[in-house]
């Protein structure tokens, strides 16, 4: 058994998080169809609204016109752009609950966190008499891949879960399956505590690594959790599209489909390491070889605070920037936001940013072209940040500008740039940065 299979990893994912934050603030909205929009663009849709047929990234006024019963709530605005600070604070509440019980919590986004619960599971197994009957009664919202269908049918869930537990705890069952069951009990408890203390419902995936936990989490929602054992991976991968796997939603996933003619994950099993290395670098080839078999060695890293602080603004339609004066005005606004948050972060977390990356997109031939530049950050004063950012961007500025972002690096230049790139470009960026050239051009990202 590989070392990665000895771990028990979970992903906690808040359901329709922005909508839950709003309904906690406005209890009269609970149970009613709701969308959260920013500048009239729908960002979050609760399940009641989804049942009406509403999806994300439609216009808020169009959703209201087509579905009069939907409640449209706008993200607060500050300095002319969306202010998500209350959602960020709500996410921190959840992290505070998790860190009281689990020593290894990695905050993956504003509404997601990976947990390595291996030690918690081992301690529970050592201290508690465990049998199939006393496991079953605690898994009231748990699905098991391979033992239920893709629906949330309760009867099928219960029958499948009961069958899996009986098999896992009989004489032929394996220790890892029993550990997954105990891990699922722990996650059921954590999810209940999150709801009790924060009033937020969440879904979860429990497996042996981050990729499988992420995949399992999305299979049954909302307010459900799913176990994915290694024995169920082959059957799942036989029908799972390549782009459904974490890190394969972009260019590498497209290359797998186009170059290797792989449409589902099990197709990758046909390729040897030598064949994969002819198409990808050695590290990527090894990762693809392993992940086709459900193996991923990436560890959950303790991180309770965001690794980055950024301020950005999209400019839609007629709002695109064509004049340098307007560009400077928006850089001033974003710099004020960055300055304020950096000072607060320094006070809260005793860390200091060492570099500043300025990223923008301009429109050419109806396509968004991305550019980024990084250099040393020497001051937290808003006017200094603004002047510095403006000096960086004006050297390469092309119009019209449709997107602008400033993000300081809180650890080191390499990790800041790479981790803020789309996942499919991260390996390419790491190789690029080793050349010691701290300017990074991104085209058609």
The ranges assigned to domains in the chain are 3-15+87-234, 17-78, 241-291, 311-433
3-state SS of 185-224?
HHHHHHHHHHHHHHCCCEEEEEECCHHHHHHHHCCCCCCC
Residue 164: pLDDT over 50: yes
Residue 129: pLDDT over 80: no
Q: Quote the mean pLDDT of the chain.
A: 86
Residue 333: pLDDT over 50: yes
Q: Which two tokens stand for residue 301?
A: 């890293």
Give phi and psi for 110, each to the nearest 5: -65, -25
Cis peptide before 200 (omega within 30 of 0): no
CA distance 84 to 82: 6
pTM for this entry: 0.77
Residue 443: pLDDT over 60: no
Q: Are 102 and 115 in contact (CB under 8 A)?
A: yes
Fold classification of 241-291 is: DNA polymerase; domain 1 (1.10.150)
Higher-confidence residue: 259 or 9? 9
CA distance 148 to 182: 19
Q: What is the pLDDT of residues 293-325, one digit of tens each?
A: 999 999 999 877 766 788 888 887 888 898 888
Residue 2: pLDDT over 70: no
CA distance 407 to 27: 35
Higher-confidence residue: 243 or 225? 225
Q: What is the pLDDT of residues 140-160, one digit of tens each?
A: 999 999 999 999 999 999 999
Burial class (CB in 10 A: 0-12, 13-18, 19+), 158: middle
CA 338 → CA 86, 131, 188, 342, 426, distances in Å?
16, 53, 38, 6, 24
Q: Assign residue 439 a region (left: φ > 0; alpha: ψ between -120 and 50; beta: otherwise).
A: beta
pLDDT score at 364:
87
Percent of the chain scoring above 90 in pLDDT: 56
Q: What is the pLDDT of residues 53-111, one digit of tens each?
A: 998 878 889 999 999 999 999 999 887 777 888 998 999 999 999 999 999 999 988 89
Residue 354: pLDDT over 90: no
Residue 434: pLDDT over 50: no
CA distance 174 to 185: 17
- Enter the CATH code of domain 311-433: 3.30.1490.100
Question: Average pLDDT in the 387-400 region?
Answer: 85
Q: Are 210 and 9 in contact (CB under 8 A)?
A: yes
CATH superfamily for domain 3-15+87-234: Reverse transcriptase/Diguanylate cyclase domain (3.30.70.270)
CA distance 390 to 278: 43
| Distance from the Cα of residue 185 to its chain's centroid | 23
Burial class (CB in 10 A: 0-12, 13-18, 19+), 340: middle
pLDDT score at 442:
29
Residue 332: pLDDT over 70: yes
Residue 120: pLDDT over 90: yes
- Enter the CATH code of domain 17-78: 3.40.1170.60
Q: Which of 74, 72, 43, 71 lies closest to 57, judged by CA?
A: 43
pLDDT score at 84:
85
**Helix or strand holding residue 428 (H, E):** helix 426-433
Residues composing the chain: 445
pLDDT score at 1:
46
| Distance from the Cα of residue 230 to its chain's centroid | 23
Q: Which two tokens stand for residue 433?
A: 């940065």
CA 163 → CA 121, 143, 208, 229, distances in Å?
21, 11, 21, 14
What is the secondary structure of 258-320 as a DSSP string? HHH---BGGGGGG--HHHHHTTS-HHHHHHHHHHTTT---PPP--B-S-SB--EEEE--GGG-
- Computed over its alpha carbons, how large is the radius of gyration of the chain? 23
Q: Which two tokens stand for residue 37?
A: 């929009």
User: What is the pLDDT confidence band of residue 3, given thresholds at 50, 70 and 90?
Assistant: low
Q: Give 247's DSSP letter.
A: T
């Amino acid at each position: 058994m590989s070392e990665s299979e000895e771990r028990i990893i979970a992903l906690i994912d808040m359901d329709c998080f922005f909508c839950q934050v709003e309904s906690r603030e406005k209890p009269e909205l609970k149970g009613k169809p709701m969308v959260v929009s920013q500048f009239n663009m729908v960002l979050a849709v609760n399940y009641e609204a989804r049942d009406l047929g509403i999806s994300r990234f439609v216009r808020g006024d169009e959703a209201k016109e087509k579905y009069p019963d939907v409640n449209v709530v706008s993200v607060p605005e500050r300095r002319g752009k969306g202010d998500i600070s209350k959602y960020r604070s709500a996410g921190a509440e959840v992290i505070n609950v998790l860190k009281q019980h689990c020593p290894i919590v990695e905050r993956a986004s504003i509404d997601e966190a990976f947990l390595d619960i291996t030690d918690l599971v081992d301690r529970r197994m050592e201290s508690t008499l465990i049998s199939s009957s006393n496991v079953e009664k605690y898994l009231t919202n748990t699905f098991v891949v391979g033992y239920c269908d893709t629906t949330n049918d309760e009867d099928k869930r219960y029958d499948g879960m009961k069958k899996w537990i009986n098999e896992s705890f009989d004489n032929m069952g394996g220790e890892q399956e029993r550990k997954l069951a105990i891990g699922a009990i722990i996650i059921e408890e954590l999810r209940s505590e999150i709801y009790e203390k924060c009033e937020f419902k969440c879904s979860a995936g429990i497996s042996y690594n981050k990729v499988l936990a992420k995949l399992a989490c999305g299979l049954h929602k909302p307010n459900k959790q799913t176990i994915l054992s290694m024995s169920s991976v082959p059957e799942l991968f036989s029908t799972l599209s390549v782009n459904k796997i974490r890190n394969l939603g972009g260019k590498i996933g497209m290359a797998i489909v186009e170059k290797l003619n792989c449409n589902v994950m099990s197709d990758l099993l046909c390729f040897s390491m030598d064949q994969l290395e002819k198409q990808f670098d050695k590290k990527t080839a090894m990762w693809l070889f392993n992940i086709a078999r459900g193996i991923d060695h990436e560890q959950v890293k303790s991180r309770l605070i965001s690794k980055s602080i950024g301020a950005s603004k999209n400019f839609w339609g007629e709002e695109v920037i064509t004049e340098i004066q307007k560009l400077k005005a928006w850089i001033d606004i974003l710099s004020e936001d960055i300055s304020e948050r950096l000072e607060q972060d320094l006070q809260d977390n005793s860390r200091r940013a060492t570099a500043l990356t300025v990223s923008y997109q301009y429109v050419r031939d109806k396509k968004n072209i991305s550019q980024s530049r990084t250099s040393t950050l020497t001051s937290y004063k808003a006017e200094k940040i603004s002047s510095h950012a403006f000096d960086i961007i004006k050297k390469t500025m092309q119009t019209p500008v449709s997107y602008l972002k400033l993000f300081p690096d809180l650890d080191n230049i390499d990790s800041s740039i790479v981790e803020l790139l789309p996942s499919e470009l991260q390996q390419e960026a790491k190789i690029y940065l080793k050349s010691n050239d701290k300017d990074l051009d991104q085209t058609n990202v």
